[in-house]
Amino acid sequence: MRPGMTYSLWLKANARRERGGHYFAVFAIPFVLLLERIFNGGYTPQYAASIAIFAGMALLFFNVTLRFRFPVLPVG
């Protein structure tokens, strides 16, 4: 079941990559970080997932060229 879920998420990220490019990095970097922390770092899956979640949230503040951008919310 897990390989199927991972594959479907990968397809979704790939479809978004073709349209914009940034969504692929938002998916791939936390996913690689998650696997690295579990298998290479020796952390528990829950702790590795929290690191990956915070990394993904941090990536949302950067654009494709890795320049910081703060999202401006519309007023009114």
Dump pLDDT digits (tens) for 21-70.
566 677 788 889 999 999 999 999 899 988 988 888 887 777 667 777 77
62 beta partners: 68
pLDDT on residue 1: 47
Helix segments in 1-76, DSSP class H: 2-19, 22-39, 45-59
Dump pLDDT digits (tens) for 4-15.
556 666 666 665
For residue 2, report the phi and psi dihedrals to the nearest 5 degrees.
Answer: -65, -40
Which pTM was predicted?
0.61
Residues 33 and 54 sit within 8 Å (Cβ to Cβ): no
pLDDT on residue 52: 87
pLDDT on residue 57: 80
